[in-house]
A and B are shown apart, each in its own frame.
Chain A
Amino acid sequence: MDRIPILRMGKTLLVTIQVDMQDQTALTLQDDLANEIAKTGANGVMIDISAMEIVDSFVGRMLSSISGIAGILSATTVVVGMQPAVAITLVELGLSLEGVRTALNVERGIALLDRAREEAQIGS
């Protein structure tokens, strides 16, 4: 079973999903991310799904869960690079991925995380 690696870039954790994941791999990623956020005090998580041709309900729920868990641990999550075919399919499937922030690409994703950090600082 592949384990998705988590890279760290300052206060941001970066995950790139490039394989056709088994369900267990997705669950392990969820665990690993939660642990890593807690361990490093990261306040941003970027999940790059530009290589994913298929996002089904299981992966969709995983993304929502990660977003929720990260939020509780005071980190913002952004999912970047969703392919048009995936977006169209998710809409048809009826999955709205509520609560999951998305950005067109890594660059925009980083900008989004920066803005979220600023807002968090202003608020605190």
Chain B
Amino acid sequence: MEAEPTGSMPLLSEQNIVASRQMVRTLCQSLKFSLIDQTKMITAASELSRNALIHGGGGHMRWEFVERNGRRGLQLHFEDEGPGIADMSLAMSDGWTSGKGMGLGLPGSKRLVNDFDIDSAPGHGTRVSITKWK
């Protein structure tokens, strides 16, 4: 299946999280990412989709193929109108150990992608954008 270079899908249910993983897989295959890069990107998307649903009260994922300096890439945006993140430095610090902590997985997701951008404030929702370059 050829993927559209841009689009969006809702993140309002658990099925949507599964669907978002499958969509990101299709997009990665479209761009012929390596298996490792594909795995990392889908995993990051899974984390961020879940965040938008569970912590953000529901949102959506937008995608677009991007290009910079002749390199192609996949950019995903996870947006919700939820409570927003009050303490950004805390959210971005590694407080994880396996199975413990309810971390948002943001620092982990950041390590899985090339570009990571987050825009969030109390009362203003959250938008996380990630990019993986070929």
Touch test A–B (CB under 8 Å): yes
A88 to B14, CA, bound (A): 25
Chain A residues with Cβ under 8 A from B42's Cβ?
53-54
Evaluate whether A53 and B39 lie within 8 angstroms (CB atoms) in the complex, with A60-B98, A64-B99, A97-B98 already known. yes
Q: Does A61 contact B (CB under 8 A)?
A: yes
B89 within 8 A of A: no
- Confirm or deny: B74 has a beta carbon within 8 angstroms of a beta carbon on chain A: no
Number of interface residues, chain A, beta carbon within 8 A: 29
Q: How far is the CA of A34 from the CA of B128 in the complex (A)?
A: 37
Q: A89, B39: Cβ atoms under 8 Å?
A: yes
| Residues 41 to 89 of chain B near chain A (Cβ within 8 Å) | 42-43, 46-47, 50
The secondary structure that dominates the B interface is helix
Q: With A64-B98, A96-B98, A99-B99 in contact, do A54 and B108 touch (Cβ < 8 Å)?
A: no
Contact of B107 among A24, A54, A60, A94 (CB under 8 A): A94
Per the bound structure, the CA–CA distance linking A80 and B45 in Å amounts to 25
Most buried by B among A54, A96, A97: A54
B6 CB, nearest partner CB in chain A, Å: 23
Q: In the complex, are the beta carbons of A22 and B43 less than 8 A apart?
A: no
B133: shortest Cβ distance to chain A, in Å?
Answer: 16
Q: Can you list 18 A-B pairs with a CB-CB distance of less than 8 A?
A: A22-B15, A22-B17, A23-B14, A53-B39, A56-B43, A57-B105, A61-B98, A88-B36, A89-B36, A89-B112, A92-B108, A92-B111, A93-B105, A93-B111, A95-B96, A95-B108, A96-B98, A98-B98
- Give residues in A with beta carbon < 8 Å to B: 20-24, 53-58, 60-61, 64-65, 68, 85-86, 88-89, 92-100
